[in-house]
Amino acid sequence: GAVVSQHPSRVICKSGTSVKIECRSLDFQATTMFWYRQFPKQSLMLMATSNEGSKATYEQGVEKDKFLINHASLTLSTLTVTSAHPEDSSFYICSARQGNLAGYTFGSGTRLTVV
Amino acid sequence: QKEVEQNSGPLSVPEGAIASLNCTYSDRGSQSFFWYRQYSGKSPELIMFIYSNGDKEDGRFTAQLNKASQYVSLLIRDSQPSDSATYLCAVTLSGNTPLVFGKGTRLSVIA
């Protein structure tokens, strides 16, 4: 089955620094990947759609200059949280789909804590 | 505005019983419907998906879709304590468009 690998699983960073999160499709090519954020006791909220070889599409209210997305290959998308602040602390999860008739597979998520 | 509604619960059922989880969606253009299970602190795991009206069974799980009523449900037979989790309903349009999630229903299976 489709496997999506996400790293790191947990990161603690200081306020003002940047953090990069990687999302890889291990056994399939993903021209599109999705990035979600989940705050405690809330559901997943779509942040952006990552498109291989082109600019990401961001949801309303998500700052594209703060959450940089790079989808440079068919198997790798990265999300960089720049100038992180404590309010950016959240669970970040990526997702991809192997074909239009398959389910969406999620990475294991990254727990970001900004101190 | 695309919306997916779920009862937040908690829904408590005794071990061995049938758990029934419900979901409604607002966008009539929705084509694909998914049920995910999420344990606390973990990412969602796909349980099953359904595209056509009617029932789809996979082991202890049955998904039911009624597009006319814009309603999708998940039945869990012979519920186990390990089924205790939050169940997320998600819908999408055709192709490779992003999932829209409901807020999830917390299920508690009591031994």
Give the model's confidence band at A62: pLDDT under 50 very low, under 70 low, under 90 confident, else very high: very high
d(CA A55, CA A68): 10
Local confidence pLDDT in tens for the 111 residues of chain B: 679 999 988 999 999 999 999 999 999 999 999 999 999 999 999 999 999 999 999 999 999 999 999 999 999 999 999 999 999 999 998 778 899 999 999 999 999
Task: Specify the higher pLDDT residue, A94 or A102.
Answer: A94
Beta-carbon contacts of B56 under 8 Å, excluding residues fewer than 6 positions away, are B48, B50, B62, B63, B64, B65
Beta-carbon contacts of A115 under 8 Å, excluding residues fewer than 6 positions away, are A12, A13, A14, A15, A86
- Best residue of A44, A60, A90 to probe chain B, by most B CBs closer than 10 Å: A44
Instruction: Find chain B residues with C-beta within 8 A of A111's C-beta.
Output: 41
Instruction: Find chain B residues with C-beta within 8 A of A107's C-beta.
Output: 43
Is the pLDDT assigned to residue A67 strictly greater than 70?
yes
Instruction: Find chain B residues with C-beta within 8 A of A49's C-beta.
Output: 98
Report CB contact under 8 Å: B99, A106.
no
pLDDT at A103: 84
Q: Is A103 on the interface with B (CB under 8 A)?
A: yes
Q: Which B-chain residues 19-78 have CB contacts (< 8 A) with chain A?
A: 34, 36, 41-46, 48-49, 51
d(CA A29, CA A98): 7
Mean pLDDT for A86-95 is: 97
- pLDDT per position as a tens digit, A17-51: 999 999 999 999 999 999 999 999 899 999 999 99
Instruction: Find chain B residues with C-beta within 8 A of A106's C-beta.
Output: 36, 43-46
CA distance to partner chain A, nearest, from residue B103 (Å): 5
Mean pLDDT for A91-111 is: 91
pLDDT at B1: 63
Give the model's confidence band at A71: pLDDT under 50 very low, under 70 low, under 90 confident, else very high: very high
Is the pLDDT assigned to residue A101 strictly greater than 90?
no
d(CA B111, CA B100): 33
Give the model's confidence band at A2: pLDDT under 50 very low, under 70 low, under 90 confident, else very high: confident
Report CB contact under 8 Å: B96, A106.
no
Tokens 């996400």 belong to A6
Report CB contact under 8 Å: B43, A107.
yes
pLDDT at A110: 98
Instruction: Find chain A residues with C-beta within 8 A of B92's C-beta.
Output: 104
d(CA A20, CA B29): 35
